[in-house]
Amino acid sequence: MSTGDARLPQFLVDKKQLAEGETFAFTCHPGVPCFNSCCADVNIVLTPLDVLRMARRLEMKTLEFLETHTSNPITKDLQIPMVMLKMKDADAKPCPFVGDEGCTVYEDRPWACRMYPLGMAIPPARAGEEPKPLFFIFEDDHCKGRFQPDCKQWTAQSWRSDQGLEAQDELEEGFRDLVSHPWFIGGRTLDPKRMHMFYTACYDIDTFRSFVFDSSFCERFDIQPEALQELKTNDEALLRFAFRWLRFALFAEPTLKVKEEAVERSQP
């Protein structure tokens, strides 16, 4: 597939695609002349785990973090909700979490920051086809990290491993299954109610937890007591569960089991 493929996001169509095993040179540290220059006036899309980790690091509820530090762009082609990190209102529009010595939330920095200078795209689903991620290199003029004497050579796999992305991607596999779901073939979009459902379950995990435990949810679904107990206290387990529930709620997939008595009550 060429980088000009119409199925790719527009921001990637002119980027250099990496072949499997191909290497690139890169380093980033305070000694690089452009250090921190990429941390301003930039569009950073946040994943569900990004929101969760940053909210917990800042000791905030997910809803408070979303309202304080994110925005939600709306376009006519948007198939699912998108959450973006909000830059400061200063002239340079710096990231709210960048300091003189670098990122102040580095251990919990967003997926996009970990990936740079790599980009990744998952082509839209096609019937009977498993979407395979494609990797690209951003060759931005402002970035000097490709030309330093201490540059290391990386493959997409070795870079992702070094940046802790493999573990994050494993946890968010259910999220990728949602956004690349065959239901969206042909440009189908969620209605406002399902958009809100998707947004809450994926990003506002604290509100989703209240939905699970403070409503009739547990009376309707057959969930083992030990699993329920884990969902009360383990944020990442709840996030995985949220992805499963959305497949049930949005696409009518049998990812959850409805209790027999709940089925009987719903019958006329």
DSSP for 217-264 reads HHHHB---HHHHHHHHH-HHHHHHHHHHHHHHHHH--SSS-B-HHHHH
Confidence at 13, pLDDT banded by 50, 70, 90: low
With beta carbons less than 8 A apart as the criterion, state whether 177 and 54 touch: no
Assess whether 174 and 193 both reside in one domain: no
Assess whether 88 and 201 both reside in one domain: no
79 within a domain of the structure (yes/no) = yes
With beta carbons less than 8 A apart as the criterion, state whether 264 and 220 touch: no
Assess whether 148 and 202 both reside in one domain: no
Distance CA(200)–CA(161), nearest Å, equals 30
Q: What separation in angstroms does the CA of 234 have from each of 28, 52, 174, 228, 247?
A: 34, 12, 17, 10, 21
Please say which residue of 152, 179, 206 terminates a domain. Answer: 179
Assess whether 114 and 30 both reside in one domain: yes
**Helix (H), strand (E) at residue 134:** strand 134-137
Assess whether 19 and 82 both reside in one domain: yes
* Residue 31 in tokens: 């000694």
Residue 79 is predicted with a pLDDT of: 83
pLDDT over 80 (residue 14): no
Q: Cβ neighbours of residue 173 under 8 Å, at least 6 residues apart?
A: none
Please say which residue of 121, 154, 179 terminates a domain. Answer: 179
Can you give the residue range of the structural domain that contains 194? 189-266
38 within a domain of the structure (yes/no) = yes
198 within a domain of the structure (yes/no) = yes
2 within a domain of the structure (yes/no) = no
Confidence at 239, pLDDT banded by 50, 70, 90: very high
In the three-class reduction of DSSP (H, G, I as helix; E, B as strand; rest coil), residue 24 is classed as: strand
**Parallel, antiparallel, or unpaired for β 70-71 and 84-85?**
antiparallel
Assess whether 161 and 224 both reside in one domain: no
For 95-131, how does the pLDDT look when each residue is reduced to its tens digit (9 = 90+)?
999 988 889 999 999 999 999 999 888 766 565 666 6
With beta carbons less than 8 A apart as the criterion, state whether 115 and 164 touch: no
Please say which residue of 138, 161, 179 terminates a domain. Answer: 179
4 within a domain of the structure (yes/no) = no
- Return the minimum-mean-pLDDT range out of 38-47, 170-179, 255-264: 255-264
Assess whether 211 and 258 both reside in one domain: yes
Question: What's the mean pLDDT in 38-61?
Answer: 95
Confidence at 74, pLDDT banded by 50, 70, 90: confident
Confidence at 260, pLDDT banded by 50, 70, 90: confident
184 within a domain of the structure (yes/no) = no
Neighbouring-strand partners of residue 134: 121
pLDDT over 60 (residue 8): no
Assess whether 48 and 82 both reside in one domain: yes
Confidence at 246, pLDDT banded by 50, 70, 90: very high
Q: Considering its fold, how many domains does the chain have in total?
A: 2
Assess whether 16 and 96 both reside in one domain: yes
Assess whether 150 and 208 both reside in one domain: no
